[in-house]
Amino acid sequence: MLNEAVRVIARVTSQPEKVEELKSILLNLIEPTRHEKGCVSYQLLQDKTDSAEFVFIEEWANASAEAAHMTTSHVQEALSKAQPLLAKAPDIYRYVIIA
Amino acid sequence: MLNEAVRVIARVTSQPEKVEELKSILLNLIEPTRHEKGCVSYQLLQDKTDSAEFVFIEEWANASAEAAHMTTSHVQEALSKAQPLLAKAPDIYRYVIIA
């Protein structure tokens, strides 16, 4: 395929009193993820007006690299630790880059 | 300020039968926006499973550059042309980069 790259936007919403604890868990994902094969970029954002809203903006070389990411021990461990701190289930959307 | 950069995620949802028409209007924003002062990156995405969902991922040097962007003639013209093609009002969120 000509353009296999996948962009992911994953929104993670903290319970109000768990923001710093969740932030620390999410920050721990950065380094191991950036070293994964096929990880082009992986950035963590926090909403300017609602600090309980975090977003990962991700770019993967292809869909299989992104699928492999979800099975890594660092993601599985973060999901398990983050679960009780979330206000709702994460929203994960996958996109193709058109420009 | 140490880190003034602003990330914007703007979701734009087309009416089902207007996807290609809206896509063309959105694509016309790319070049003039990338030439704006303070535009670090500006990318247009389309949802892999729902082609009516477009997202701009933007990075601006600071909040005033992003505010100026919204007042440009190319944005104002695109908003006016896109308005009748949208399924709902665009969602625009602003973030700080934490990693």
For residue A88, report the phi and psi dihedrals to the nearest 5 degrees.
Answer: -160, 170
Say yes or no for a CB contact (<8 Å) between A47 and B94: yes
Residue A94 confidence (pLDDT) above 90: yes
* Residue B80: strand, helix, or coil: helix
Q: How far is B61 from chain A (nearest CA, A)?
A: 15
> How high is the ipTM of this complex?
0.90
| pTM, two decimal places | 0.93
Cβ of B46 within 8 Å of Cβ of A93? The answer is no
What is the sign, positive or negative, of the torsion defined by CA atoms of A45, A91, B80, B74? positive
For residue B43, the chain A residues in CB contact (below 8 A) are 7, 97, 99
Confidence class of residue A2 from pLDDT cuts 50, 70 and 90? low
Q: B1, B49 in Cβ contact below 8 A?
A: no
- Structural domains for chain B: 6-95 (3.30.70.100)
Contact predicate B97/B3, CB 8 Å = yes
Mean pLDDT of B77-88: 97
pLDDT at B3 over 80: no
Residue B63 has pLDDT above 60, yes or no: yes
pLDDT bin (cut points 50, 70, 90) of residue A15 is very high
Task: Write out pLDDT tens, residues A29-72.
Answer: 999 999 999 999 999 999 999 999 999 999 999 999 999 999 99
User: Quick one: closest CA in A to B99, which residue?
Assistant: A44
- Closest CB to B55: pick one of A27, A30, A95: A95
